[in-house]
Amino acid sequence: MLESLGALTGSPWIYAVVAVSVLLDVFLPVLPSGVLVITAATAAAAGSTTAAGVAAVGAAGRVAQQVPREVPSLLLLMLCAVVASVLGDLLAFRLARRDGSRITRAIARSRRLTSAQQRLGNALGRGGGLLVVIARFAPAGRSVVSLGAGAAHREVKEFLPWSALAGVAWTGYSAGLGYFGARWLGAGWIGALVSVLALFLAGSLAAYVIRRPPSADAAGATA
């Protein structure tokens, strides 16, 4: 993975690519924004490890001069992803709020989005705003939350804090997978594969939490 994206992760353009991918995947859930964040974080971990090794060897006098390869800044990468996530959610929210009927018809044409909207609506009725954060990890969950909240004419002050928390949680998890995966398993394909699988596992768990039926106690309380 790093071999094929090496030129990109070694360029400042990685921040723009990650930001645009995260911004747009609220409309196109098939975009690999999570994989891009993991890949860039892996490159950051690999670069910092290499730089530390070069510095140690240079201090010992065994390296004359070596130009370190430019690597992404993990903090800047996470900041770009979080800001893009919130802006994308807010854009989808505003568009749906302005023309909710068109968004509703668009969701109705997609079986996947319709099913996700129904499950998420039931889940939000049980668990409140915290499930907005969980839905950020589920396939198409971000799209349903942002578009659905706008189409339902929710207030921005009700939606924005949960959107920001969801963006921070998702970005922190994705970047953490890439960074610590590279630290513990190496920056090769094994570490990257394990990190990507962990991301998909989180998505599967989030989808399970959203679609599981309410407990008997919750049903009784509702009744």
Please give the pLDDT value at position 18: 93
Per-domain residue ranges for the chain? 6-214
d(CA 212, CA 209): 5
- Say if pTM beats, i.e. exceeds, 0.75: yes
Please give the pLDDT value at position 188: 74
Q: Any residues with CB less than 8 A from the CB of 62 and at least 6 apart, and which?
A: none
- Residue 43 is which amino acid? A
- Half-sphere exposure (CA, 13 Å, Cβ side) for 189? 3
d(CA 106, CA 172): 31
Q: What is the pLDDT of residues 22-52, one digit of tens each?
A: 999 998 888 889 999 998 898 888 765 544 4
User: Are 136 and 33 in contact, with CB atoms under 8 Å apart?
Assistant: no
Please give the pLDDT value at position 116: 62
Within 10 angstroms of residue 30's Cβ, the number of other Cβ atoms is: 8
Please give the pLDDT value at position 68: 47
Please give the pLDDT value at position 65: 44
d(CA 95, CA 76): 28
Q: pLDDT under 70 in the chain at which residues?
A: 1-10, 47-71, 100-104, 106-107, 110, 112-113, 115-128, 212-223
d(CA 35, CA 22): 11
Please give the pLDDT value at position 164: 94
User: Are 149 and 159 in contact, with CB atoms under 8 Å apart?
Assistant: yes
